[in-house]
């Protein structure tokens, strides 16, 4: 699904929902992305949410708000959220904010 | 390079891409270009979210290529201005928590650039100047 420069797809496996975001996450795109994700999370309330960000080629601090907002939403209904395979651009800003101390960062892809 | 655009969020991508394209003539690394794009995006977003909150105004961007592979990027608005610049630059400070702003905009600019200066007058507007020195 193309949404103003960001793409979001969903895959549910048991109690885990993988939310794959690609493209650019800025203040403009974040609004649409978070509205779509929140609709799915609120409807399905998956216990584990994996926010897969390997295909994000640009993210500014609006992305930090996007991650923290979803983290709070999932935690509110008793679930857990992790960031999966962040791209270098995403990881750089996550580390700058010290967010890895709060949100789990998981890696499944081997660095090339 | 001079660029003037209305403070609409749809213009954020165009603003950072235009600045990056202009800077590309100095053959920066991919990381340097990514840093410039991110810092410009933060400054332009501040104009849209804070300076011109609930209204639309002009954002003026000027980019200069200086000696020693130094890039100077000036982002100017004529919006509401910042009452306390020192406080605004503190990490995690935001006046728009409901909009899921992280309060990290100035911290990102400072981390991704070699210099950031902010000049602001309440009711008159704000000018953010970013300095980025490229590796030789």
- What ipTM was estimated for this complex? 0.90
Q: Measured between alpha carbons, how far is A63 from A73 in angstroms, rounded to an integer?
A: 15
What's the CATH code, domain A2-106? Answer: 3.30.750.24
Per the CB < 8 Å rule, is B12 touching A28?
yes
pLDDT tens sequence across A40-92: 999 999 999 999 999 999 999 999 999 999 999 999 999 999 999 999 999 99
Q: Measured between alpha carbons, how far is A100 from A97 in angstroms, rounded to an integer?
A: 8
pTM, rounded to two decimals:
0.92
The H or E element containing residue A10 is: strand A6-13
Nearest to B38 by CA among B135, B130, B136: B130
**String of b and e for A32-61 (b: at least 16 CB within 10 Å)?**
ebbebbeebbeeeebeebbbbbbebebbbb
Percent of chain B with pLDDT over 70: 97
Interface residue ranges in chain B relative to chain A, Cβ cutoff 8 Å: 9-10, 12-13, 16, 34, 37-38, 41-42, 45, 48-49, 99-102, 104-105, 107-108, 111
DSSP B9: G
φ, ψ dihedrals at A39, nearest 5°:
-60, -45
pLDDT tens sequence across B106-116: 999 999 999 99
Domain count for chain B, please give it. Answer: 1
Q: Where are the beta strands (DSSP E) in chain B?
A: 2-6, 58-66, 70-77, 115-121, 125-133
Which CATH number fits the domain that encloses residue B127?
3.30.565.10
Which residues of B are less than 8 Å from A27 in CB distance? 9, 12, 41, 45, 48-49
The H or E element containing residue A59 is: strand A48-59
φ, ψ dihedrals at B36, nearest 5°:
-65, -45
Q: Measured between alpha carbons, how far is B45 from B76 in angstroms, rounded to an integer?
A: 12
């Amino acid at each position: 699904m193309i949404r103003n420069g960001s793409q979001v797809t969903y895959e549910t496996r048991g109690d885990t929902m993988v939310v794959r975001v690609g493209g650019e996450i800025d203040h403009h795109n974040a609004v649409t992305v978070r509205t779509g994700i929140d609709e799915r999370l609120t409807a399905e309330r998956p216990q584990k949410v994996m926010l897969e960000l390997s295909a994000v080629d640009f993210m500014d601090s609006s992305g930090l708000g996007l991650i923290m907002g979803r983290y709070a939403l999932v935690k509110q209904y008793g679930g857990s959220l992790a960031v999966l395979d962040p791209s270098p651009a995403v990881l750089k800003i996550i580390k700058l904010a010290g967010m890895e101390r709060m949100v789990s960062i998981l890696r499944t892809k081997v660095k090339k | 390079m001079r660029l003037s655009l209305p403070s609409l969020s749809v213009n954020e991508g165009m603003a950072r891409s235009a600045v990056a394209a202009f800077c590309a003539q100095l053959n920066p690394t991919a990381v340097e270009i990514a840093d410039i794009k991110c810092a410009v995006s933060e400054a332009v977003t501040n104009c849209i979210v804070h300076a011109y909150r609930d209204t639309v105004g002009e954002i003026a961007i000027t980019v200069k290529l200086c000696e020693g592979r130094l890039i100077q990027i000036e982002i100017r608005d004529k919006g509401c201005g910042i009452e306390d610049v020192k406080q605004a630059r503190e990490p995690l400070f935001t006046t728009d928590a409901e909009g899921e702003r992280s309060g990290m905009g100035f911290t990102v600019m400072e981390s991704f650039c070699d210099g950031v200066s902010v000049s602001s007058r309440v009711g008159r507007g704000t000018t953010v100047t970013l300095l980025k020195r490229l590796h030789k």
